Amino acid sequence: MEKKISINWFKYASPKTFYPLAGKIIPWCAIGAAILIAYGLYIGLIIAPTDFQQGEGYRIIFVHVPAAWFSMFLYLIMAFYAAMGLVFNAKLSYMMATAIAPTGAMFTFVALVTGSLWGKPMWGAWWVWDARLTSELILLFLYVGYFSLQAAIDDKNRADKASAVLALVGAINVPIIYFSVKWWNTLHQGSSVSLTKAPAMAAIMLQGMMVMAIGFWLYSVAVILMRVRCEILERDSKLKMF
């Protein structure tokens, strides 16, 4: 029985069998994302109390913090799929990495913009060359470099492998972003949420942030799967031309 189940799951490594499965998952993730993001914004903008130090301006964290989390998390997932593509020469893995890059870049851009909007009233400047801000900006360049390299090379096999190497090399930037506050003297405040200690915020604030994070995750799954399906169709149509 165990062998049969593993074989059934393994078949989804093929783009042709993964395509219909992705189509079934997308609507559920999209609906869940819409509901959770709307509820998370309701908690963050209406229910959560005003912060006694930062006032109403702190509410931007309900978008900024989950976006920053996913800017890093999606890069690691992209690098993982890139590595799987290099090791096993798996076409679907390369497609997944390609599909993740634009969404990761979007979250990185949102994190940088919302961080600037928060920084102006709190720090008195839209941008400072803080270690975390600078490394996050480098992350955006890595994302853009990834899909730019994909577009610059006509041969898809070469493009997949070259961009995969870039993704793996760039992965070293993720721990730099995460630990930059501890490693260097930085203006950026430390993490309010940690796996090793109690959260330094009210329960309702944490709830709103977690709801937004889950909503962002479902959104990411939905749009990445949409992009993978498009990538499968595009590559399949190009193969039929030759």
- How do residues 27-47 score in pLDDT, each as one tens digit? 999 999 999 999 999 999 999
Asked whether residue 172 carries a pLDDT value surpassing 90, the answer given is yes
Residue 188's pLDDT is 58
For residue 51, list its beta bridge partners: 55
User: How large is the average pLDDT for residues 204-228?
Assistant: 96
Residue 159 three-state SS = helix
| pLDDT band for position 242 (cuts 50, 70, 90) | very low
Residue 154 three-state SS = coil
Mean pLDDT for the chain?
88
Handedness of CA 139, 75, 79, 157 (dihedral sign): negative
| pLDDT band for position 230 (cuts 50, 70, 90) | very high
Residue 181's pLDDT is 73
Q: Check if the beta carbon of residue 76 is closer than 8 Å to that of residue 157.
A: no
CA distance 215 to 221: 10
Q: How much of the chain exceeds pLDDT 90, in percent?
A: 66
- Higher model confidence: residue 222 or residue 191? 222
Residue 126's pLDDT is 81
The one-character DSSP state at 54 is: T
Classify residue 19 as exposed, middle or buried by CB count within 10 Å of its CB (0-12, 13-18, 19+).
Answer: middle
* Look-up of token digits 């480098």: 138
Q: Check if the beta carbon of residue 11 is closer than 8 Å to that of residue 87.
A: no
H or E element in which residue 4 lies: helix 2-10
Q: How many helices (H) and strands (E) does the chain have?
A: 8, 0
- Higher model confidence: residue 214 or residue 241? 214
Residue 18's pLDDT is 94
- Higher model confidence: residue 37 or residue 117? 37
- Higher model confidence: residue 104 or residue 2? 104
Q: How far is CA 125 from CA 122, 187, 211, 224, in A?
A: 8, 12, 30, 34
Which tokens hold the place of 240? 């039929």
